[in-house]
């Protein structure tokens, strides 16, 4: 490939080489092969997502300190409540988003199954 002809960049030659490289890479990567969906693993993956959509965590607040323990627990509970008031609206929006994404993935999965049935 000649990059320069008479001191000028040969764009046509460069583009031809790029197209040739892309074609070779597509053949090697199997771009034209059909996609096979493993229906069982798709469904299991969506079910796992259903279990993970709730991102709020509940925890017991405890202390191992004998003398200051009760005071620390009360302080931590108050602090935890204040943080939750601030963070919970964002978590609620995130959980709504997660639920919607899972619903859309389920719908897409159902559509793909229907398309595969129509092919057969």
Question: Around 106, how many Cα atoms within 13 Å sit in the side-chain half-sphere?
Answer: 12
- The segment with the largest mean pLDDT, out of 33-37, 41-45, 73-77, is 73-77
More confident residue, 106 or 10: 106
Sequence-distant (6+) residues with CB within 8 A of 37 are 112, 116
pTM for the model:
0.51
Domain spans of the chain, in order of start: 1-33, 37-119
Task: Indicate if the pLDDT at residue 7 is higher than 70.
Answer: no
Structure tokens at 65: 């300190």
Q: Is the dihedral of CA 28, 34, 38, 42 positive or negative?
A: positive
More confident residue, 41 or 48: 48
- Residue 118: its H or E element: helix 69-119
Mean pLDDT of the chain: 80
pLDDT band at 32; cut points 50, 70, 90: low
Determine the pLDDT at residue 116.
83
- Pair 3, 9: CB distance under 8 Å: yes
What SS3 state is found at 61?
Answer: coil
Task: Indicate if the pLDDT at residue 19 is higher than 60.
Answer: yes
- Pair 63, 73: CB distance under 8 Å: yes
pLDDT in tens, 58-116: 778 888 888 899 999 999 999 999 999 999 999 999 999 988 998 898 888 888 888 88
């Amino acid at each position: 490939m000649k990059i320069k002809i008479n001191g000028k960049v040969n764009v046509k030659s460069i583009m031809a080489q790029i197209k040739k490289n892309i074609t070779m890479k597509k053949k090697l990567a199997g771009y034209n092969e059909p996609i096979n969906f493993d229906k069982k693993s798709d469904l299991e993956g969506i079910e796992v997502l259903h279990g993970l959509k709730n991102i709020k965590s509940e925890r017991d607040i405890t202390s191992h300190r004998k003398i200051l323990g009760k005071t620390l627990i009360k302080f931590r509970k108050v602090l935890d409540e204040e943080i939750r008031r601030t963070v919970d609206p964002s978590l609620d929006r995130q959980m709504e988003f997660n639920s919607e994404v899972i619903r859309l993935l389920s719908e897409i999965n159902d559509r793909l199954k229907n398309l595969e049935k129509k092919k057969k």
